[in-house]
Structures are given as structure tokens and as C-alpha cells.
Structure 1
Amino acid sequence: MMKKAMLFVAALLACHVANAQYFCTTEGTELHYVNYDEVGQSVSDETMTVKNILQEGNTVKASYYAKIVTTKAKNNTSYTLFNWSYDGKNTVCTEDLMYGPYIASDSDPDKYDEVARMKMLDDRKFKGDNSFTIKDSAQGGETIPDRSYQLILNMLKNEVNISGAAYMGEEQVHTRAGKFDCIKISYLMRTKIVLKSKTLRVTEWYAKGVGLVKSEAYDTKGKLDCKTLLVKIDK
């Protein structure tokens, strides 16, 4: 009886550790999202597949391979990749900005590696930091450091600046995928492509063991620009 109790406690602890990070660590899980425009119309469906689960010492890593299918458009499929890690204190996510262009160039996805990524980053003159971090036990009102990056895409210089970021506390979010206890984050995102710039107030909700559950972006006049919702999880 004592042995069974000890095994039960060990299992509970293992589950707690596995879900301490703000991303999924179950290989093959699919996270389904719907992206909406400013009037609430669905504009694309996005599926993130969890792969490459890896434990390195106290750090666990995972990759989210995203396929985005845009409605009512030709050549409507695009791809991107998010790499996650958790060291026991911080969850870090970095979008691999080169994965999409690599796939779009009709290159073999199985041959995409660090050498190919670094070459493409150099060709596109990438500079800066496009990662973001979610701290364990972050308190509402706690600020998050600014970050920025730039690169050449489609022959045009793209610049992105993230500022005024802060944790907004915890909040429960309900979607078609279920009910989630989330950390809420808000920040200003300014994008500039050559001479055209745009500023949005972005708010995001992340759940442990899942990742992004909900995202909303409003312009400087308070008008909705876009929204993303998690609608289904397939394991």
C-alpha cells in the first residue's frame, strides 16, 4: 500500500513538472487555431504539430510546426516554426523566421537544419531578438524587457519593435477547445516595412502545458485588427 502511494505521489510530481512550462511536451499533439480579421470573419486556419521533444539536463525543449491555410485565396498555404524551451524557471519561445521562406522555396523540409537556417538569416540580414520569455510566478504589473529585430523579406526591409510589455496577471479563458487558466501578457508592437509603419496593442493569453490560447490586437484608436483562438486539441 505504501509503495502504491509513493508511486502515485511520484506520478503527480512528474505531471506537475511536465506542465510547468507554457507549451505542450506530448509528441504529435495538434493544436488547432482560427485567425479572425477586424470584423470577426475567419481568415485562416492554423494547425501546430508538436515535435522534437528533448530533455537536456534540467531543460525541456519542443518544436511547434505550424501550417496556416488562408480561406478564399490562391497559393493559400504557408508555414512557420516555433521553438520552445523551459529551464525550470523560464519558458522561452522563438519563432524560426526562416522555416517558412525555406518551405516556400520548394526546398526539402527534411533537409532544413541549422546550417541552412544560419545561411538564410545571413542572406536576409537578420539582426536583433525575436524571442519572448514567460517567467514562472510572474506578478501582474511586472514589466517585460523591450526587444526588436529586423530582416529582409520579399526584397523589403522589415522592422519589428516590441515595447511597453507587461504581465497582466492570471485569467481564465473559455474557447471551443475548453477552459484554460492563463497568464495574460500585453505589449505594443510596431512594424515598419520600408516607409509604412503600423502600431498595435497586442494582448495574449498562455496556458501551461498548451501555449497560446488567445490573442487580440487593436490599433491605436482601439479598433480590433485581428484575433486568434485555440479551438481544438488533438492528442
Structure 2
Amino acid sequence: MKKTTVFLVSLLFAVNYSFAQNNCSKFYPMEEGSSFQYTNYDKKGKPDGTVDYRISSVSQDGSATVATFDLRYTDKKGKNLFDSNYTISCEDGTVRIDYESLFPAQMMQQYSEMDVEMDISGTDIELPNALDVGQELPDANVSIAMSMGGIKMNTTIDQMNRKVAKKESVTVAAGTFDCYLVQETSVSKTMGATIEVNSNMWLAEGVGLVKQESYKKNGNLMSRTELTKFSK
């Protein structure tokens, strides 16, 4: 269960700002066929796998624009670990992520085959179309209740203290981008264990996430993610 929690926290960071741009959102790309690749690095700066995203469909649901993201996670040896998809919506100047859809279908299938009952609830991540230095962003959270053979396990993940710290230029493999630096703290609790992660995320208009660094509570670097490919 702890591995599941760590995975979910990592996945939330990975997809947190991987959005696209259309008439609804000036900040995040939302065009069918757009693709992104992010490379993850460990605390020593060594490659630790990649995540490839592709926007497979964009549709209208009333006044909301809904996009489906397909993703493939590959480990550092090039082995495909899983494929999944999730949805985001944009309405009235705000982008929202469906928390439940972030769980890979393969993982959900495995739990089902193990007779594990799972209930997921929470508050969607909300992201405004425009960012300003000093701006505070809404908190978000997710709760996962799992039950197997009479044993119950509960996990909560809270994303808090979300704020826009400054603007600066950032260079990664995919190019050089003018970015907003967004900082936040994520606290996960499961089976008596608490994991606190502080993150710096650099976002560019029309692209989304360009770079991310995650730190332990004591300030030590845990991992880094960078945009290595981008097309639309």
C-alpha cells in the first residue's frame, strides 16, 4: 500500500500541469494529437524513466471542454510499466483534473482480481488559466479507502500551500521557456506513515509543466522531472 501511495503522489506531480491550450485555456495546451514526454531523474541526476502523454480526444460537454490524456510510463531500462489515461476539463476559466481517473486501469484491474474493494473521493485539482506572481492556488486532496479480507487501509493525500513564487527563464532538453515557478506541499498519510514532499514546478504558457523538483521535508532533493519532447 505504501508503494501505491508513493506512486500516486509521483503521478499527481507528473500530470499536475501537463495540459494544453484552446479557447478555454490560454495557459495549458488542449489540442488533439499534442504530445509530451517527461524524463524523470533520481536525486543523483541519473535518468529514472520516462512518461509519454498524448491528447487522444477533445470534446465539448455542455460549456466545458474535456480532454483525454493517454500516458505510457517506461522505466529506466526501457520497459513499459503501464499504460493509462485520465481526463481534464476546462470551464469558466478554470482547469480541473478528475482524481479518480488518475489511477491506472491496470492497477485497478489488479486490485479487482485480488478482491480488493477501493473507494476514492476528493477535491479536484483546480488551475486558473492565468497566473500572477504572489497568487495563491486552491488546496486539493484525495482519500483512498481499501478493504481486503476484513483488513481496511486508508490513505489521504493533501496538496496545500500552493502559490506562484516568481517568473524566470528555464532551459530543458525541449527548449528554453519563460516560466512561472509554482510551489506546493503534498502530505500523504497511510498506515501510520506520513510522507511530506515539497515541490517546485516551472510552468510555461501554451506548454504546461517544463520542469519539476521534489524535496523531502528536510530539504534534500528526491527527484527531478523535465520536459524532453513536446509537439502539437
TM-score under structure 1 length normalisation: 0.73
Q: Is 1:31–2:9 an aligned residue pair? A: no
Q: Which amino acid aligns with 2:68?
A: S
Whole-angstrom CA distance in 2 between matches of 1:185 and 1:31: 20
Which residue number in structure 2 is paired with residue 91 of structure 1?
Answer: 95
Q: State whether residues 81 and 96 of structure 1, in contact with CA within 8 Å, keep that contact through their aligned partners in structure 2.
A: no
TM-score computed with the length of structure 2 as normaliser = 0.74
The amino acid across from 2:121 in the alignment is K
Separation in structure 2 between the aligned mates of residue 183 and residue 159 of structure 1, nearest angstrom = 28
* Identity of matched residues, %: 21
Q: Deviations over 1:100-156 (max 9, x none)?
A: 1x234669xxxxxxxxxxxxxx94121222x22222333222222322221146964
Query: Which 5+ residue runs of structure 1 have no aligned equivalent?
Result: 1-15, 108-121
CA RMSD of aligned residues (A): 2.9
Residues 38-53 of structure 1 aligned to structure 2 (within 5 Å): 38-53=43-58
- In structure 2, stretches of 5+ residues that fail to align are 1-20, 111-115
Counterpart in the other structure of 2:156: 159
Q: Which deviates the most, 197-206 or 56-65?
A: 56-65
Instruction: Give 1:159 shift.
Output: 1.6
Q: Which of these residues, 71, 74, 78, is aligned with residue 76 of structure 2?
A: 71
Distance 1:212 1:70, change over 3 A: same
Contact 1:21 1:91 in 2 (8 A): no
C-alpha distance 190-80 of structure 1, shift in aligned 2 (>3 A): farther
Closer/same/farther in 2, CA of residues 64 and 23 from structure 1, 3 Å limit: farther
Paired positions, count: 203
Q: Is the 8 A contact 2:100 2:121 kept in 1?
A: no
Residue among 118, 133, 140 paired with 1:147: 140
1:24 and 1:210 in contact (8 A); partners too: yes
Please state how far the C-alpha of 1:95 moved relative to its aligned partner: 4.2
The one-letter amino acid of 1:44's match is G
C-alpha distance in structure 2 between counterparts of 1:142 and 1:174, whole Å: 24
Give yes or no for contact 2:43–2:222 (8 Å, CA) kept in 1: yes
Name 1:173's counterpart in structure 2: 170
Question: Which residue is 2:118 aligned to?
Answer: 124
Q: CA deviation at 1:70?
A: 1.2
Q: Which one of the candidate residues 41, 61, 64 is aligned to 1:59?
A: 64
Please state whether the residue corresponding to 1:141 is helix, strand or coil: coil
